[in-house]
A = this chain, B = another copy of it.
């Protein structure tokens, strides 16, 4: 469900590296536009370009991009050029450094709910190798209870990755969630354990069961029950597991809403999901807000930043500069 378009035939990583080097040596915008080729390569192709570039010119492409580019465009391009597990490690570190407000911490929930369990492992490994401590240690350092135990539980999960559902478990755990919501006792161990351990299909069955038995979606009931930070993060976890496209449609909507744009959230949503489910996010955005995600982003951004996001969102209209 990737939204990016890959040229055919695909230039070799060496050819791409040579074009990038030329772009760095030139000064005009048209040269920089060549950089967009990084916007039309999948993650493993980009990693090969990074390696080829390092070998050819004995410098880090990421560092060069950091020094050459600035502003929102530069930040977005650097994030795009990074290896996904390292990118997520950087996003998590940034979130923790920002004194752990609930909006930033939801980034960690997003990453922890990645549908591929091995990505979460690669992310924890990258975190250790980049920041010389485990993610869990950093969470404990920056985040108080009860948010801490929710975050640690979520990032420590290694979910069974096959479609295996036990309807009896779904029913009993839907009841347990309802009981916790009714008693406004959301941060109990059992709730965290269910959210951070059960496989995605099992949890979707539990959420379905909840809606059937109690009339409203569980994320709605959590929202109505409390506006505490814990409830907000718990709801994020539910939505990220049940429908990540809904979560990211909400993130993009709130980042372009009102006066000014929240560029860091917008960049994160578009860059990290471009190769995962951005096509689904576009459909969901259209469904919820009855407007086009591409139009919304294009209306709220400008210049190279706008062109880059539009290239990632994939309108099929961008001129190919390769």
Contacts and interface: CB of A to CB of B under 8 A. Distances in A.
Interface of A: 117-118, 121, 124-125, 128, 132-137, 140, 145, 149, 152, 156-162, 164, 189, 193, 197-199
Nearest to A134: B160
B198 A124 contact: no
Copies of this chain in the oligomer: 2
Contacts of A135: 158
Shortest 6 CB-CB contacts between residues of A and residues of B = A156-B156, A134-B160, A136-B197, A124-B158, A128-B160, A133-B160
Contacts of A193: 136, 140, 152
A73 to B, nearest CB: 34
B124 A162 contact: no
Given A152-B193, A193-B152, A128 B158 contact: yes
Given A134-B199, A197-B136, A189 B149 contact: yes
Given A121-B121, A149-B189, A197-B140, A158 B133 contact: no
A158 B197 contact: no
B189 A133 contact: no
A134 B197 contact: yes
Nearest to A132: B164
A124 B121 CA distance: 11
A158 B134 contact: yes
A157 B160 contact: no
Contact of A121 (B133, B136, B158): B158
Contacts of A161: 128
Contacts of A197: 134, 136-137, 140, 152
Contacts of A149: 189
Nearest to A124: B158
Contacts of A140: 193, 197
Nearest to A145: B189
A6 to B, nearest CB: 30
Given A140-B193, A199-B134, A157 B158 contact: no
A211 to B, nearest CB: 23
Contacts of A159: 134
B137 A198 contact: yes
